[in-house]
């Protein structure tokens, strides 16, 4: 949309998500995007996507595509954009030139070496590092000399040396900064690209952004932005600085807490609906009790008043639980459809592809009840697909003697070989009474059969599992288990 057409009513909510492609979007980035999107949708406003790609040196290949894919995956559709700041450089240069001409900014010719030396000395003197305003006070003759030398300057803002800068934060109330703590920050770099401080101010103004909802790490930068708005004679938007996300140990969220890029959660088999629900509750709540909310319910109730002022705590266990709930809510057809790509990638290579659809569909109801993520499905269901099971003979025995186990398997094989109908009810009718006949506890007897048939001590319900596997495969596995015990006993 052309900027000339962006004039909106003051009551119109217009928010933006403005990621930098210097890395892949992580939980914090996407939580910010989600809160902006929810605020726009709740208020019937607009959600604008802007890519802040002016830090060319640090840009990560593929990051822009990953940002867009992540938003699409989560259903965070944008109403305008994506705008790219790299395509708007001329606008920022014009604003920077205007500030210099009006005496509100100045050209700085200091070399990186001088700046680094200055910072080292400040640190040694235990002073807060910051620009010493050397070029702010250059005489005209010296400035002319530097210009003639061919040095490409940066543009710095003339921060006031005294007084205070204040603003109202929608979450935190009145915030006041002493101007003496602010440095003369860079607006335009020597490569011609703007810094965040300049570009985001210019774009927020021209795109008529009404509310800036961003991470609280930007709180200390806000007085700079307020001063820029004042220098340019522009009305600033309303600000809300969102609480940070901490790990379970209350430390800053990092990879060890699970703070991987958001696309990794997709690869690990989390559903977008579960991620939206989970992320919405990282700093916002409906009533401090309700945990499962549909997207429409969150939109309906979302408000800034319900956003916490304190840090949110990331809980991976809660995310897994929530994702499991959402997985169980899928229809069997949908669960199977989403699980098959994970099975194709995750099952052993010797299993023939493509997987047989009818057989796979029979397995999925048994797995759907247990899976917390789609990435778990191959491991949970592998024994349904492989020809040979690998397990230690000690798993077969558990709390049963060798001779008892051999006798139990022999009797089971004999009974099952004579079974006419291989279905769950018939299997239970034959096998359940055998525990008493063998003088074994039911759990011990069924545990023996479970390991023999699945290679595991925990699996979906035994008789349902046996029905899906079929008589031929089950009997073969029981005979293999009997042979393992016989070799172990007499070998």
List the chain domain ranges. Answer: 3-84+197-245, 90-188, 330-385, 393-490
Question: Above 90 in pLDDT, residue 4?
Answer: no
Q: Are 464 and 378 in contact (CB under 8 A)?
A: no
Structure tokens at 204: 């927020």
Structure tokens at 92: 């920022």
Question: Above 60 in pLDDT, residue 6?
Answer: no
Q: Are 217 and 246 in contact (CB under 8 A)?
A: no
Q: Which of 255, 300, 309, 399 is catalytic?
A: 255
Domain 330-385 has CATH 3.30.70: no
Q: How far apart are CA 238 and CA 232, in angstroms?
A: 17
Question: Above 70 in pLDDT, residue 9?
Answer: no
Per-residue pLDDT at 487: 78
Q: How far apart are CA 174 and CA 172, in angstroms?
A: 7
Q: How far apart are CA 408 and CA 406, in angstroms?
A: 5
| Residue 426 DSSP label | H
| Neighbouring C-beta atoms of residue 222, cutoff 10 Å | 19
Q: How far apart are CA 215 and CA 245, in angstroms?
A: 10
Question: Above 50 in pLDDT, residue 490?
Answer: no
Per-residue pLDDT at 488: 64
Structure tokens at 328: 């169980």
Q: Are 152 and 190 in contact (CB under 8 A)?
A: yes
- Annotated catalytic residue 101: no
What is the arithmetic mean of pLDDT over 87-102?
Answer: 97
Q: How far apart are CA 98 and CA 105, in angstroms?
A: 9
Domain 3-84+197-245 fold: Rossmann fold (3.40.50)
CATH number for the domain formed by residue range(s) 393-490: 1.10.10.350
State the pTM of this model: 0.91
Q: What is the mean pLDDT of the chain?
A: 93
Distances (CA, A) of 488 to 112, 393, 403, 424, 454: 74, 8, 11, 31, 19
Same fold, 90-188 and 393-490: no
Please enumerate in sequence order all residues whose Cβ is within 8 A of that of 318, keeping only pairs 6 or more positions apart, or say none: 278
Q: Which residue has the higher pLDDT, 147 or 383?
A: 383
Q: How many residues does the chain have?
A: 491
Class of domain 90-188: alpha beta
Q: Summarize pLDDT for 31-81 with one digit per residue, the tens.
A: 999 999 999 999 999 999 999 999 888 999 999 999 999 999 999 999 999
Q: How far apart are CA 211 and CA 201, in angstroms?
A: 12
Picking from 193, 198, 197, the residue whose alpha carbon sits closest to that of residue 220 is: 197
Q: Are 165 and 227 in contact (CB under 8 A)?
A: yes
């Amino acid at each position: 949309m052309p900027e000339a057409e962006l004039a909106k009513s003051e009551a119109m909510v217009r928010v933006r998500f403005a990621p930098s492609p210097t890395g892949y979007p992580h939980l914090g980035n996407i939580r910010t995007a989600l809160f902006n999107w929810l605020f726009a949708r709740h208020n019937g406003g607009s959600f604008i996507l802007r890519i802040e790609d002016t830090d060319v040196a640090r840009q990560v290949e593929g990051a822009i595509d990953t940002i867009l894919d992540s938003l699409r995956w989560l259903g965070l559709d944008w109403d305008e954009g994506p705008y790219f700041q790299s395509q708007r450089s001329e606008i920022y240069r014009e604003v920077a030139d205007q500030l210099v001409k009006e005496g509100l900014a100045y050209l700085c010719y200091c070399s990186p070496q001088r700046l680094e030396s200055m910072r080292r000395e400040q640190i040694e003197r235990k002073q807060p590092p910051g620009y010493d305003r050397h070029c702010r006070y250059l005489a005209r003759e010296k400035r002319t000399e530097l210009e003639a030398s061919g040095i490409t300057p940066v543009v710095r803002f003339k921060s006031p040396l005294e007084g205070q800068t204040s603003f109202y934060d929608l979450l935190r109330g009145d915030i006041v900064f002493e101007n003496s703590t602010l440095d003369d920050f860079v607006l335009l770099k020597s490569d011609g690209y703007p810094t965040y401080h300049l570009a985001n101010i210019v774009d927020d103004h021209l795109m008529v952004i009404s509310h800036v909802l961003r991470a609280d790490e930007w709180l200390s930068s806000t007085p700079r932005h307020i001063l820029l708005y004042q220098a340019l004679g522009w009305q600033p938007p309303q600000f809300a600085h969102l609480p940070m996300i901490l790990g379970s140990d209350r430390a800053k969220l990092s990879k060890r807490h699970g703070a991987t890029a958001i696309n990794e959660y997709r690869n690990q088999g989390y559903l977008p609906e579960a991620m939206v629900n989970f992320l919405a509750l990282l700093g916002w709540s409906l009533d401090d009790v309700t945990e499962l909310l549909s997207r429409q319910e969150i939109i309906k109730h979302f408000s800034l008043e319900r956003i916490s002022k304190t840090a949110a705590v990331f809980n991976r266990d809660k995310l897994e639980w929530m994702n499991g709930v959402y997985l169980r809510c899928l229809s069997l057809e949908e669960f199977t459809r989403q699980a098959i790509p994970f099975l194709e990638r995750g099952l052993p290579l010797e299993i023939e592809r493509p997987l047989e659809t009818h057989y796979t569909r029979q397995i999925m109801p048994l797995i759907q009840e247990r899976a917390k993520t789609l990435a778990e499905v191959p491991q949970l269901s592998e024994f349904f697909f492989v020809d040979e099971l690998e397990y230690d003979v000690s798993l077969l025995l558990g709390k049963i003697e060798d001779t008892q186990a051999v006798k139990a398997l022999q009797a089971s094989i004999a009974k099952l070989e004579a079974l006419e109908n291989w279905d769950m009810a018939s299997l239970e009718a034959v096998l359940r009474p055998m525990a008493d006949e063998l003088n074994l506890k039911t759990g011990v007897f069924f545990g023996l059969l479970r390991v023999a048939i699945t290679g595991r001590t925990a699996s979906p319900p035994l008789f349902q599992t046996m029905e899906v596997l079929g008589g031929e495969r089950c009997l073969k596995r029981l005979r293999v288990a009997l042979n393992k015990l016989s070799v172990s006993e007499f070998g």
